[in-house]
Amino acid sequence: MGCVGEFAAVSDSRVFSDVYKNGAKWHCECAVVYFLASEQRKFSAVASKKIGNSVTRNRAKRRLRTAFYNQQNSIDSGIFILIAKKQMIDMSFSELERNLKWAFKKIGAAK
């Protein structure tokens, strides 16, 4: 994986479980956004096989990472997990960014 800006990658399954159980969750048109407030700055983009073949899944994750990276200065520290939805394949990039921005506000992650 790598990192996005100053955010490190989430690689431990225990961190995923902790965020899923205790974090704030919001469904938007393009993704399901999980956020757990923390001093750590971690991020992960996930795309399941429901999205499509490997090329489609990787493209979805790249788009989520880029949209997240573009907004990283306007969000709080914490652990973010973005799970791609099938609808995001047909969305324009500006729609994707707008949806994520709205989701960050709704879960209390926006500064």
Asked if 35 and 24 count as a contact pair (C-beta separation under 8 A), the reply is yes
Is residue 111 a part of any domain in this protein? no
Secondary structure element (H or E) that encloses residue 33, with its range: strand 31-37
pLDDT at 1 over 70: no
Residue 51 DSSP class: S
- Residue 4 has a pLDDT of 63
Is residue 2 a part of any domain in this protein? no
Q: Please provide the distance, in angstroms rounded to a whole number, between the alpha carbons at the two ends of the chain.
A: 26
Is residue 37 a part of any domain in this protein? yes
Q: How many domains does the chain have?
A: 1
Is residue 84 a part of any domain in this protein? yes
User: What Rg value do the Cα atoms of the chain yield, rounded?
Assistant: 13
- What CATH number should be reported for the domain holding residue 53? 3.30.230.10
Average pLDDT, integer, range 6-15: 88
- Residue 2 has a pLDDT of 60
Is residue 54 a part of any domain in this protein? yes
Is residue 3 a part of any domain in this protein? no
Work out the pLDDT band at 110, boundaries 50, 70, 90: confident
Average pLDDT, integer, range 11-21: 93
Is residue 74 a part of any domain in this protein? yes
